[in-house]
Amino acid sequence: MEIIVDDLSGPEIAGFLDEHVQQMRSITPPESKHALDLDGLRRPEVTFWSVKDGDDLVGCGAIKRLGPHHAEVKSMRTAPARQGSGIASLLLGHIIAEATRMGFTRLSLETGSDAFFLPARRLYEKFGFEYCEPFADYRPDPLSAFMTRTL
């Protein structure tokens, strides 16, 4: 598998991300959905990675700069057919290493609080993320879980 910085110009990643946004919309009410669309991910403060297995796009993730030393994990997704195969762990490890290399000292994230998101929360816990109060522009939301870790 290969993890590459993606400029988000290809139709494959656009479709992959559209599926992600549509899935989040089907699970989460609009006021609690925080997934970035393609334009939001193309902003200069975002670094986006795709995970390829040969020619197959199997995962993605990003970080968004919040300040000089603080970034947010965004758009973590594994292809449904490949969930549970270690792609998310591989990618999250890469994101943490890259965030450290970029000079960030803190990574934070928002994910869902219901049962659907339990595997994601367990993954983040495994990588040392701890629950925290809302950060950046987030507000308290019973459908959101906020997590952070020091790098």
Rounded CA-CA distance 3/29 in Å is 31
Predicted local confidence at residue 22, as pLDDT: 75
Asked if residue 147 is part of any domain, the answer here is no
Assess if residue 113 is contained within a domain.
no
Over range 116-132, report the average pLDDT: 96
Residue with tokens 């925080």: 34
Structure confidence by residue, pLDDT tens digits, 7-28: 999 999 999 888 877 777 667 7
Q: Domain range for residue 10?
A: 2-107
Hey, is 29 helix, strand or coil?
Answer: coil
* Number of domains the chain is built from: 1
32: pLDDT strictly greater than 70: no
Domain membership of residue 134 (yes or no) is no
| Residue 148 forms part of a structural domain | no
CATH code at position 68 = 3.40.630.30
Answer yes or no: is 88 within a domain: yes
Looking at the DSSP bridge assignments, the partners of residue 106 are 70, 150
Q: Tokens 């998101």 label which residue?
A: 117
